[in-house]
Each structure stands twice: as C-alpha cells, then as structure tokens.
Structure 1
Amino acid sequence: MHLEISVRKLPLKHTFTIAHQSRDAQETLIVKISEGEMYGLGESTTNPFYGMTAENMAGCLREAAMFLRGKSLRHPNDLWEDTQVFFKGNPFAQCALDMAVWDLYAKSAGKKLYELLKLDPGKIPLTNFTIGIAPIEKMVSKMKEFSWPLYKIKLGTDHDLDIIKELRKHTDAVFRIDANCAWTAEQAIRYSEEMQSLNVEFMEQPLAQRDFEGMKEVYKYSKLPVIADESCMTEEDVDKCHGLFHGINIKLVKAGGITPALRMLEKAKSLGMKTMVGCMTESSVGISAIAHIAPLLDYVDMDGSMLLAKDIAEGVKIYPDHVQFPDRDGIGALLIPN
C-alpha cells in the first residue's frame, strides 16, 4: 500500500468562535492510501487546543507509510492495531489513516461503507447546524441566512441565557447548546431550569473536561440531558462518563478513527447511554465518513462542510429530511481538483 499526504485550507463562511478559540479558516490534512489503481481517502483537521498540527500529524503518518509500504490491505481493525504504535499521543493522524483504510476496504469489497457495516441509511438522525459565538444580532443573522430545524448554539459568554432567549424569538427550531467546558456546576444546573422551557434538547459538555465531581451534581440535578464531549475522547473514557452524562459525543479525530469509534458506540449502548458523533469542521471527506456510520446514532453533528465557504471535496449531501449518498463505493468522497 502507498500513502500520500496533503494539507489544505478550508475557508469558512463566517468567523467561527467557541469558548476557547476563533478561526476564519480551518487547516486540514488529507490522506490517500492506494493499492494498485484503487484508493481510499481520510481526513483530520488540525486543532491548536489539542496541540494537533499538520506537521506532527504528517510526521506520524510518514512513519506509518514506511511500515505499510509493500503490505497488502487487511481488515481496518487489524491495520489499526498494527499501526497504533506510530500514533501514540496523536489520534488525529491515526483517524485520517483509519478513515482512508475503511474507504479503501469498502471499495475493495464493491460496497458503500454503510452497506459493508450492514447499516440502514434511512435511519440517520437529523444533523444540527452550528451557530458559533458572536454578537447576538450576528447569531440571529446566521440563523436567518441558513434556515434549519435544529441548531447547536455555542455558548461560554457572560450572557448565555440572554443569547438563547433572544434566538428563541426568531425561530421555532430545536436548540442544542454546547458550552465547551465554560460553566460551573451551579451555572449548568441553573441554566438548565430556564432552558428547559426554551425548547433546548440537551446540554453538551458544560463543565471542564475532568470536573467529575461537578458533573455528579449536574447529572443529578440538571433539568436537561447532558452529553459528554471533551470528557469522552478515547475508549477508556466511556466507562468514566457513565453515571455522569446521559450520553457521549464521539469525535472521530479525537478517538483515533472509525475503528475505535465503533467500539465506543457499542460500549455506550451497552451502558444505556445515548450516542452521538460530532465533527471538527471537516470537508466532505470527513463528513461523508460520519454519515455512513450515522444510522448507529441517536444524535449527529455533521455540519462541517455546510459551514465552509468552499469545499475541497464532494460527497454526501445533507437535507432536513434525508442524506443523499453519491453512487460510489466506500465513503463516496472525491477531492475537487485545485
């Protein structure tokens, strides 16, 4: 197998702000793994908050590339285990490779990925569309620009309740709110009481990543379900989140790819927890991969390509009532020539 790496820029429609960062463009790394004439694509975006750069991801992938050179395609589970040694501390890079391997493996079987996994594409939950932190009038303007029945609202300001109350005046859409670790337990519990009446479906990661004591209180007293994000990055975190959160939001890049994410989903379901997969502003390469496993989920956040001013790929198309898959095997994504 032969591995190629490229780094691309994804320009955003609007400045995207969450509790700990803002950006106008997203850097992303694309992996292409080929065997003969057939190839698979994978993606991972960079992220300064987690220390993931194009340089350190590419370094891991180059080592994996040398290991894979001359070897034949095997099941993605086996290749994930075989190459894990090259990705210690860098799950983002491992995700890009793992996604590409799943794409290639499904293509070699002559199937779309959801067919390979025996999933029903008619059972994909509606994705939310994310509204980043901005002046309230700008957030309202973003909603009006992109009318959608389900919004995720990024919070973490000193006037979060005012934001939700004002946005509610302009739409009947369901809200999900994501504080990205910005609140205290007292705030989360208090906000949940008011947000319950404002058609908010759940709260995502209200407290700091390892504030487990605080989460015990929130889990006990919150009027809304609480979903873990930053607190549930790896397989080992699923058990830790049980009894503190009602569900988990898995990011493929944080987990290390589709392979561990599938195990995490199975574990969460066995514990009676709700399941969600989220995105990290990927192009249609990464978003298409998420869509193929979305029938397993209770909730999904795969709006990354919808936030872009210009996509670098084509793949799934997302509508309020369905997801349209291209008539191509694998994850179905193709890079658009520069």
Structure 2
Amino acid sequence: MELKFELKKLHLKETFSIAYGNYNHRDVLLIELSHQNCKGYGECVAIDYYQINLQSFVLKLKEIQTQIESQKIVHPKDFFKFLSGLNLHSFLLSALDCAYWDLFGKLENKSFLELNNISSKNLVESSITISIGDIEDQINKIQKSEWTQFKVKCKGLNKKDIKKLLQLNESIALDSNASFTDEDCIWLQENKVVEKFSYLEQPRPIDHYKILKKENFANWMADEDCQNIDSLEELIPYYKSINIKLMKCGGITPALEMIKKARNLNYKIMIGCMTESTIGISAGCVLTGLVDYVDLDGANLISNDYAEGNFVKNGKIILSLKPGLGIDLK
C-alpha cells in the first residue's frame, strides 16, 4: 500500500459567517492510499476553533508513513485498530480511515453500502446553511432557495428574528455556535413555539450544557459537546439529538459504532460536516440512510471542488453507488 498526501485550499463561494468568525477559505489535507492500481481518498480541514494545525499532521504522516505502507490489506475495521495505536488526532484519523474504506471497496469492487448491508432507499435530505446576516437577507435566501431544509446561523438570541423565522412555512434549524447565554436557553426551552425548529444546535460553549433540559420544548442538539462515543451517556439529560461529524469522531468506523450506541440511548442523530470537498461529503453521504437529520452542504459552499463522488443536489443525497466511497479526483 502506498500513502500520498497534499495540502490544498478550498475557496468559499461567499464569505461564511458564523459566531466563531468570518471565513473565505479553508485549508485542507488530502490523503491518498493506493494498492494494485486502486486509489482511495480522504481529507481533513483546518478549523481554527478546533486548533487544527495541518503542518503538524504532515509531519506525523511522514513519521508513520513506513508503518502505514507496510500494512497488508485487511478489513477496514481491522485497519482502524492499527490506526488507533498510532496516537493520531481525530481529524487525521478520519482522513486515513475514510481513504482506506474507499480503497478497500474499490479493491473488493463493492460500494460501502454493499459492504455494510445499508439500504440506499429513504435517504434523509440535507440542510443548506444560511450564514449570519441581517434577518431579512437570511429570509430572502431561504425563500429563493430550491432546498427544503435550512440551518440558520445566529450570534446570540434575537427574539424578533426568532419570531420572523418561525412565521416562515419552512423546515428550519437554528445554530448559534455556542453563542447563547443561559438565559437565552431557558427562554427557548420554555417557549412552546420553539418546537417548530427542527433542532437547536450547540447553544452554549463546550461543557456549559447543564442549563439545558431535554424534556422541554427545544430539541437541543450537541455538536462540539459530542466529540465521540464517550460523550453520549453524560449528555443524556440535556440533549435530545447529536451531530456526528466524521472528523470529530475519527472517521466512518467509529461513526458506525457511535450511531449504534446513540440509537440504543434514544438520541436523534445527524450526520454533519465541516467545509469540505466532495471527498469528505462522499464519506458522510454513505451514512445518511442510518440517521434522522443530515447537514452535508460543505461541498456546495465551495467554488473549487476537486473531486467527484456522492453529492447533494438541492438537499437530495445522490449516491454514485460506485465501489468504495465512489470518489475520483477531477
């Protein structure tokens, strides 16, 4: 097996504004694993509020390259056990895990869904993100869109804006990126009309969730509070829903285990994304038959996508059904 990697830059179609800041591009690390003329792809992106340093990932890959390349072709779950012993950051672990699933499927000439007996029917539609902005501009974007599911970003709570959003006859979720106060959360979860929001994502900064009450009206969804499978039991009294992102939890392999446990604990589950190319989105798409919500609009927000594979069109998940994760570079 051969490992290659390359730093690239994703350019956003328009400035992406969230509570953490404004972004016009994302740096990305592309991973390629190859064997017998088959190539598998994965990627991870630099997210400042996760303190991601891609240069350190490159140094780590150079350090472990010989170990990776000496591995025999085994089932992806066994390869993940090997990767787990290398002390990798979850973002880098995810890129390698996804690249190997893609490679393994191509070597077996089977799609990820075939390998895991997952149905390609009844896939949940994805939301499209509406950046922070004037509420009238946000509403205008929603009304002009061909998508049917929306995630509206906000910074803090503006009750007048909430009222305007709830008056729309649309499926809308709210994501404050941890910018709500305790008082905001109390008001939201005690206000019955808030049930109209699909979910309210990561209302408070990490570990400040104990003001939340899952039995009240708000469908609180954990994002940064839910990093991996170990988070699930602690969050039960506070969150009804969780956002699984492959880079957060370490890839497809741990995501499958996380979905299974979350189901047993009666969580609603979303597959989410960062700003990613079709490589990252393709990996998320193969799990959309197992969840309740989908937010995989990352590749739709960039202007220089460098890959082809599974994709999202006006919210609908379109699976390539090619071997592996169905990824090819353009």
Amino acid at match of 1:172: N
Note the alpha carbon deviations across 1:181-238, whole angstroms, 9 max, x for none: 11123211313455726831111111221024223xx324x31211111111022111
CA–CA separation in structure 2 for the residues paired with 1:277 and 1:86: 26
Taking every aligned residue pair, what percent have the same amino acid on both sides? 31
| Aligned partners of 1:207 and 1:214 also within 8 Å | no
Matched with 1:43 is: 43
Q: For the structure 1 residues 320 and 122, does the alpha-carbon distance in structure 2 shift closer, same or farther, using more than 3 Å as the test?
A: farther
The match for 1:205 among 170, 185, 202 is 202
CA distance in 1, matches of 2:246, 2:303: 23
Partner of 1:123: 122
Aligned residues: 330
Q: CA RMSD in A?
A: 2.0
- Greater mean deviation of Cα atoms: 236-245 or 275-284: 236-245
Matching residue of 1:33: 33
**Could you tell me which amino acid in structure 1 is paired with residue 99 of structure 2?**
A
Q: Write the distance in 2 (CA, Å) between the matches of 1:248 and 1:75.
A: 28
* Residue ranges of structure 2 left out of the alignment (5+ in a row): none
Secondary structure in 2 aligned to 1:15?
Answer: strand
Q: Is the 8 A contact 1:125 1:295 kept in 2?
A: yes
C-alpha distance after superposition, 1:140-167 (max 9, x if no partner) = 34334533211001122353x3333344
TM-score by length of 2: 0.93
Bigger proportion of residues as helix? 1
Distance in 2 between residues matched to 1:59 and 1:266, nearest whole Å: 34
What is the distance in 2 between the residues matched to 1:63 and 1:255? 23
Offset of residue 300 of structure 1: 1.1
Matched, 1:219 2:226: no
Paired residues for 1:292-331 under 5 Å: 292-320=286-314, 322-331=316-325
Counterpart in the other structure of 2:133? 134
* CA deviation after TM superposition for structure 1 residue 118, in Å: 0.8
CA distance in 2, matches of 1:51, 1:81: 25
1:165 corresponds, among 149, 163, 166, to 163
Question: Tell me, what secondary structure is at the counterpart of 1:63?
Answer: helix
TM-score by length of 1: 0.91
Q: Any residues of structure 2 matched to 1:174-189 within 5 Å, and which?
A: 174-189=171-186
Assess if the C-alpha contact under 8 Å between 2:201 and 2:222 holds in 1. yes
1:249 positional shift: 0.7
Structure 1 segment 96-111 matched on structure 2, within 5 A: 96-111=95-110
* d(CA) in 2 for partners of 1:137, 1:31: 41
CA distance in 2, matches of 1:123, 1:271: 23
Q: Return the alpha-carbon distance in structure 2 between the equivalents of residues 183 and 321 of structure 1.
A: 28
**Preserved contact between residue 41 and residue 333 of structure 1 (Cα < 8 Å):** yes
Amino acid aligned to 1:219:
K
Amino acid at match of 2:162: I
Contact 2:195 2:218 in 1 (8 A): no
**Amino acid paired to 2:147:** W
Native 8 Å contact 1:120 1:295 kept in 2: yes
Q: What is the match of residue 264 of structure 1? A: 258
Q: Which consecutive residues of structure 1, in runs of 5 or more, have no partner in the other structure? A: none
The amino acid of 2:319's aligned partner reads: F
Flag the 1:310–1:195 CA change in 2: closer, same or farther, 3 A: farther
Give the secondary-structure state (helix, strand or coil) at the position aligned to 2:121.
Answer: helix
Judged with a 3 Å threshold, the aligned counterparts in structure 2 of structure 1 residues 163 and 63 are, in CA distance, closer, same or farther, namely farther
Alpha-carbon distance in structure 2 between the residues aligned to 1:33 and 1:41: 7
For residue 129 of structure 2, give the secondary structure of its aligned residue in structure 1.
strand
Structure 2 equivalent of residue 150 of structure 1: 149
